[in-house]
Structure 1
Amino acid sequence: MPVFGIFVPPTIKRLRTSLYRDALPFSKNLRLKRRSDVDPMGREVSSEDSQRYCNVPNLIISGPPGCGKTTSVWALARDMLGVQIKDACLELNASDERGIDVVRDKIKQFAARKVTLPLGRHKIVILDEADSMTDGAQQALRRIMEVYSSTTRFAFACNQSDKIIEPLQSRCAIVRYGKLTDKEMLSRLLYVCSEEKVEYNNDGLEAILFTAQGDMRQALNNLQCTVAGYGKLSKEAVYKVCDEPHPEKLREMFELCVHGEVFQAFEIMNDLYRLGYSVDDLMSSMFKIVKQIDLPEAIRLEFIMEIGKCHALVLQGLATRVQLAGLVGRLCQTQSRLASD
């Protein structure tokens, strides 16, 4: 029993830790920790020289949301720094702290601070959403990278690397990520379901993959919301939680359009519109589905072109039911138009 302070039984400590863990979202609670965990998902962050940690370059990792940019950088930092990561790693969200004062104060002070590390290791500054930084802050950061290049490495995670100024890009190795494949996402979802004791079926997992569209963070958030609301993962529960038009209805509509059944096809579209889905929601879901269904390639391309034209009009402010009716009519004419050509 300690002399000072209040004694906390181990059982209470474990309960407190468990409650804190349960309060975290899946995307934070089950984030990959080591680079060896990240590599199987196809997210390499460095070359063979960097794997030995003796010459890790400054990094710019760009890609769409939820593809593992920040996770990759943290995994590399943990492998490099080990138990010293708290003292030798600084993370800033550049979308919140993006001014020149942050660069001059926080980042410069951290870069100038002395931390005892093994030979060949460096302190790491992680700047998340770095494409939100102002030009002035990026210019100030360029000088800091030059002065402290022997002790500090910088890792930028951003959605668009072209918003990073050229002088910073020239000092970094640029790694570009694409969206995760369904296979990569499925393996991680199965692991999360196993760890969290989630009851699921294959249709539910397919629904998660469809709604996420390669965004792992969104997939985990949708999974957690569905389980919290319905206690299990099923297809119907996922579409209710995500509030997206049901894909089966839209698939049926496309089949009717291929056969020229204009009235039946519009009835399905009209029913979805009456359920409260906006025209923009319906356009977005149609784009996703038309790429997946089994169609002749010529018809698929015509469908994509017509949906794109209609979506452009909708984004200009013409989001009415008339647009949906016109789109369905043009889709139903596609087969006969191609036959006449």
Structure 2
Amino acid sequence: MESPLWLDTHAPDLEDLPQREVRERLGDVVSDPVNLVVHGPVGSGKTAAVRALAREAHEDAENDLVELNVADFFGMTKKEIANDERFSHFISAKRKRESSKADLINHVLKESASYQPVSGDYKTIVLDNAEAIREDFQQALRRVMERHHETTQFVIGTRQPTKLIPPIRSRCFPVPVRSPDTDEAVDALERIVEREAVEYDGDGLEYLAGYGDGNLRRAVLGAQATYEAEGEVTMQAAYETLQDIGYGDRVKEMLDHAESGSFTDARSELDDLLVDDGLDGTEVLDEILRVSRSRYTGSELARVHRLAGGVDFDMHEGTSDRIHLSRLLAELGR
């Protein structure tokens, strides 16, 4: 999609969140900030809910909300961390040269937490996809949380809260975010298409809610794709547009990059599928296997299936889809 994503231009405020119980829990936190564990399935709206909370709670949310996607952050190389514009201003040349990657990660966590808020009495640090944090880093995070609890609110987003160590869970208020039901998804879609002044019908919105199947991000992306293709969001338009959507050519290109050793390009295409298109890891893995069946034969195809089996198991354990799919792509380049 070339135009701005509706997910961004119509990010929900606190009162727009589809799940009533999430609105109520986060509404209580606005005036009484505590550390949170926000947990739920892919596409349920965890990140959108946290951003809505930050906009409600902070006068200057742009500066007092620090977001770290754990899957990206912990998957970065030492050089990438040191050169990231979010962190480079507090990583000296000496520290960059003499520190290990683990030391740099701990330093970034400490420095991010120690900065004074720009507005108000506290700032918010969000650690998304936290199921990917190793236990030793979780212990370091626990110490940072204890040291800076007066000026920093920590919000930990995860699909699997049981992956967090007990000392962290005990310091956070749990906020479960279930997948929105059909009526809630339809209401969220209707809010967006009306703000866009898009022609639509109720059957079209219900079809898109079913297309998302609990993943609101996927439903909204489907609505925008339908509008850009057909100029309206009706049942017929959604059916014709979404029936034609396929990812085979892009997956083939991703595998081409992986096999040629262009891992950065392969991972960039993977990120587009996971983030821009709203696919979850299982959907991407299914597409890889579908393309592989016409791409490989014999022992090569068997190897891809063995790798896919390991990735599928790891993703169901609750760790980062991106990390495990990236590992598969790296293996294909060997």
Q: Same fold (TM over 0.5)?
A: yes
Question: Conserved in 2, the CA contact under 8 Å of 1:45 and 1:73?
Answer: no
Structure 1 residue 203: Cα displacement: 2.2
Residue 58 of structure 1 aligns with an amino acid whose one-letter code is: N
Structure 2 gaps of 5+ residues are 76-101, 245-281, 287-307, 310-334
Structure 2 CA distance for aligned equivalents of residues 221 and 109 of structure 1: 36
Q: Which structure has the higher relative contact order (CA within 8 Å, separation 6+)?
A: 2
SS of the aligned residue for 1:96 comes to helix
Query: How far is 1:123 from its partner?
Result: 1.5
- 8 A contact 2:69–2:129 mirrored in 1: yes
Change (3 A) 1:232 1:23: same
Deviation per residue, 1:209-253 (Å, 9 max, x gap) = 111112211110000111111222233432343339xxxxxxxxx
User: Counterpart in 1 of 2:301?
Assistant: none
Structure 2 partner of 1:30: 10
The residue aligned with 1:161 is 161
Could you say if the C-alpha distance between residues 51 and 112 of structure 1 is closer, same or farther in structure 2, counting changes exceeding 3 Å? Answer: closer
1:97 has 2:68 as partner: no
Q: 1:80 to 1:234 in 2, by over 3 A?
A: closer
1:311-332 CA distance string (max 9 Å, x none): xxxx99xxxxxxxxxxxxxxxx
CA contact (8 A) 2:126 2:155 kept: yes
Correspondences of 1:257-296 after superposition (within 5 Å): none
Unaligned regions of 5+ residues in structure 1, if any?
Answer: 1-21, 245-279, 285-314, 317-341
- The answer on whether the counterparts of 2:22 and 2:176 sit within 8 Å (CA) in structure 1 is no
Residue 44 (str. 1) matches residue 23 (str. 2): yes
User: For residues 95-134 of structure 1, what are the structure 2 equivalents within 5 Å?
Assistant: 95-98=71-74, 100-101=102-103, 103-115=105-117, 117-118=119-120, 121-134=121-134
SS of the equivalent of 1:199 reads: coil
- Structure number with bigger Rg: 1
* Aligned AA (2:3): A
Contact 2:40–2:158 (8 Å) recurs in 1: yes
- TM-superposed CA distance for 1:142, in Å, is 1.0
Partner of 1:86: 62
2:171 match: 171
TM superposition shift of 1:94: 0.8
- For residues 29 and 229 of structure 2, the distance between their equivalents in structure 1, rounded to whole angstroms, comes to 44
SS state of the match for residue 71, structure 2? Answer: coil
- Report Cα offsets for 1:258-317 as digits up to 9, x if no partner: xxxxxxxxxxxxxxxxxxxxxx99xx9xxxxxxxxxxxxxxxxxxxxxxxxxxxxxx99x
Whether the 8 Å CA contact 1:57–1:172 is kept in 2: the answer is yes
Task: Give CA deviations for 1:132-158 in whole Å, capped at 9, x if unaligned.
Answer: 222232221111111111111100111
Would the alpha carbon gap of residues 106 and 231 (structure 1) be closer, same or farther in structure 2, given more than 3 Å must change?
same
For 1:5-84, list aligned pairs within 5 A. Answer: 23-33=3-13, 35-38=14-17, 41-44=20-23, 46=25, 50-53=29-32, 56-83=33-60
Following superposition, the deviation at residue 130 of structure 1 comes to 1.3
Q: Contact 1:43 / 1:68 at 8 angstroms: preserved in 2?
A: no
Q: Which amino acid aligns with 1:231?
A: G
Between the aligned partners of 2:49 and 2:103, the Cα distance in structure 1 is 28
Native 8 Å contact 1:63 1:69 kept in 2:
yes
How many residues are treated as equivalent by the alignment? 223
Closer, same or farther: CA 166–102 of 1 in aligned 2, 3 Å = farther
What is the rounded CA distance, in whole Å, between the counterparts of 2:117 and 2:30 in structure 1? 22
Output the CA distance in 2 between the equivalents of 1:50 and 1:91. Answer: 18
Mapped partners of 2:57, 2:164: distance in 1: 25
SS state at 2:58 partner: helix
